[in-house]
Structure 1
Amino acid sequence: MFLFSFGQESETSPAAEDNAVSSPLAPCRHIALDADLLEKHIQVIGEVVPTMAGSLLKRNVADIKFEIAETDDLEDGNLLANVVVSQTDLIPGVYEGGLKTWECAVDLVNYLASLDPAELHGKRVIELGCGSSLPGIFCLTQDAVVDFQDYNEDVLRLVTIPNVLLNTTQRPSNPPTHTSVTFDAELDFSTLSNIPSRFWAGDWGSLKETLATLAEDDKYDIVLTSETIYASESHARLLDLIQATLKTDGVLFVAAKTTYFGCSGSLPTFLHLVRQRGAREIGTVWVETQSVRREVVRIRF
């Protein structure tokens, strides 16, 4: 298994153990924009992620880890501190790799940037297993309405929400242009109320139960997910949620490595289930082959 480093992020799989398993059911929780959240001010260290859409900004992973190590009141009783101590990318039921920015997320941003902006403008979007959330954030910058979901609530609070702010209402006026340069930023969470987003924590099965009664107009035009199919045991739950919440004419974009070495999931395995579920369109729209083969696949049901 890849070991975390406080330096450069690795370009490996989210998990690499023969016994990787799907996460147990975790109750769905909507993160309310309450006073505790909106009155929050934090100082963060940010860095630049170059994409074909221009530079996106994200919170530095070492900065996140230091906050985890020093905090006693995280939502899960500081269970994420075990991630820092054990230097792992996967603790089923606790952590699913959301502190890092995986390369398939950047692939998905690059593909979305190639689309006509009208394909994103005003659309309802959800990013599942969002973590650092760059694809969803790019859609926000194109005037989409975007929901973000991650298994772990602390990942949403420590990573996703700060990254959303860094790229929207709290974007620095002159961010650095080089990836090796970090910057300091003070984030005012009160501006979250001006961003057309919701944040969901918990298991895909629980979220499906919560959103099962959505009217057709309230369902999503676009579902995004990247680096989430490495455990085949979770494929059915992921597709159950997608099919329950995607509009009839909606589109799913899956960004993934073709093969996750040492893991039970793979893109062919996932797409086999997609075909069994009656997809009417499956097409690879983006391929990267610099190291391990990575793809973005467009799916319609």
Structure 2
Amino acid sequence: MTSFKFNFTGVSDGSQDKDDEEIEWFGSEEIVPNNQLKDLKDLVTQAKMFICGDVEIGHVLISNMLTFMKENGVKNALDLAEKEHSDLITGKYEGGLKIWECTYDLVDYLEENKETIEFKNKKVLDLGCGAGILGIYALVKGALVTFQDYNKEIIEYSTIPNVLLNMEEEQIDQETKSSKFYSGDWVSFDQLLEESEKFDIILTSETLYNVKNYDKLIALFQHRLKDEGIIFIAAKTYYFGVGGGMRQFETAIKDTCFKSEIVWKTSNGIQREILKIKKS
């Protein structure tokens, strides 16, 4: 089985040390579900469950997904990630294969507060979605969801199949039309969307590890959050080895149009938190 090592708790391997101008970030593009529909029967047999309390969301196993890509002749950044046994190669691969701890935290928090956090008919952005767990949670609750992740291959071979796995057969056609899927860098993603495209809720998990990307993230929030919208960020208090974390991000948004509060945190093991953000 493929093994990855994400350097969030050890000494930096230098993957984050390049200046931003040296990195050629992938441009954004919209991805429309296509082959995933015909491959659905095979994908069902290769699925396991994400379980968080009473929430159960089906998703394709990483090892099976990589095998499926190889069988279809897909050569991409994930090959490099597999070769280097790394979950972070700046500008090439941004960790989308793995379901991180903070995703469980945020799903649990949303479920515990489901009486006050309304998803039905809301426009939701799952930013840095990876497997798409947060967006699928919102989709099942009746939201209209846009999924975004850096690597196109993650969207094609993980996010979209996972969305389909969690739909009843009669729902698939409608859900794939109401959901949207994008890959690429946050700047080009922001530029690709229609100016009027704004969201009631933005969900994002484990996206604060690179301080150099904070300006991109904040700009996207400013452009894409509705005036009465809300953002939930689940992340570690500090990402050892790469320098980002909640305290650094709180400092970064201090003089912006946003107000924020920590609504959940744990001190067990590696410290993790959930930040709630609204416009001032």
TM beyond 0.5: yes
* CA displacement, residues 61-82 of structure 1 (integer Å, 9 cap, x when unaligned): 211222234332x3xx433222
Aligned to 2:66: 65
Aligned to 1:191: 172
Equivalent pair of 2:6/2:88 in contact (CA under 8 Å): no
Where do 5+ consecutive residues of structure 2 fail to align? none
What is the deviation of 1:265? 1.2
Aligned to 1:136: 135
- For the pair 1:295 / 2:273, whether they are aligned, the reply is yes
Equivalent pair of 1:15/1:90 in contact (CA under 8 Å): no
Change (3 A) 1:24 1:169: farther
What is the deviation of 1:243? 1.0
Structure 2 counterparts to residues 110-149 of structure 1, below 5 A: 110-117=108-115, 119-149=118-148
* CA displacement, residues 217-254 of structure 1 (integer Å, 9 cap, x when unaligned): x4100011100110100011011111101001101100
**In structure 1, distance between residues paired with 2:232 and 2:68:** 32
- For the pair 1:30 / 2:30, whether they are aligned, the reply is yes
Change (3 A) 1:197 1:26: same
Equivalent pair of 1:252/1:298 in contact (CA under 8 Å): yes
Q: Secondary structure of the residue that 2:209 maps to in structure 1?
A: coil
Letter in 2 for 1:50: I
* CA displacement, residues 182-221 of structure 1 (integer Å, 9 cap, x when unaligned): xxxxxx9x9354342100111000011122611xxx4100
Change (3 A) 1:166 1:288: farther
* CA displacement, residues 14-51 of structure 1 (integer Å, 9 cap, x when unaligned): 996253436643211001245x5544445131112221
Aligned to 1:91: 89
Letter in 2 for 1:238: L
Identity, in percent, stands at 32
Structure 2 counterparts to residues 239-278 of structure 1, below 5 A: 239-278=218-257
Letter in 2 for 1:84: E
Aligned to 2:51: 50
Aligned to 1:19: 14
TM-score (norm 2): 0.87
Aligned to 1:177: none
Aligned to 1:211: 193
TM-score (norm 1): 0.81
Letter in 1 for 2:186: W
**In structure 2, distance between residues paired with 1:128 and 1:15:** 26
Change (3 A) 1:194 1:81: same
Mean Cα deviation higher: 131-140 or 25-34: 25-34
* CA displacement, residues 274-296 of structure 1 (integer Å, 9 cap, x when unaligned): 112131x3111121232101111
Equivalent pair of 2:265/2:272 in contact (CA under 8 Å): yes
Mean Cα deviation higher: 16-25 or 93-102: 16-25
Q: How many residues align?
A: 270
**In structure 1, distance between residues paired with 2:211 and 2:260:** 19
**In structure 1, distance between residues paired with 2:130 and 2:234:** 14
Q: Secondary structure of the residue that 2:77 maps to in structure 1?
A: coil
**In structure 1, distance between residues paired with 2:24 and 2:209:** 15
What is the deviation of 1:139? 0.6
**In structure 1, distance between residues paired with 2:55 and 2:249:** 31
Equivalent pair of 2:36/2:161 in contact (CA under 8 Å): no
**In structure 2, distance between residues paired with 1:47 and 1:275:** 41
**In structure 2, distance between residues paired with 1:14 and 1:24:** 26
Equivalent pair of 1:68/1:81 in contact (CA under 8 Å): no
Q: Secondary structure of the residue that 2:104 maps to in structure 1?
A: helix
Equivalent pair of 1:212/1:244 in contact (CA under 8 Å): no
**In structure 2, distance between residues paired with 1:246 and 1:154:** 27
**In structure 2, distance between residues paired with 1:14 and 1:121:** 37
Where do 5+ consecutive residues of structure 1 fail to align? 171-187
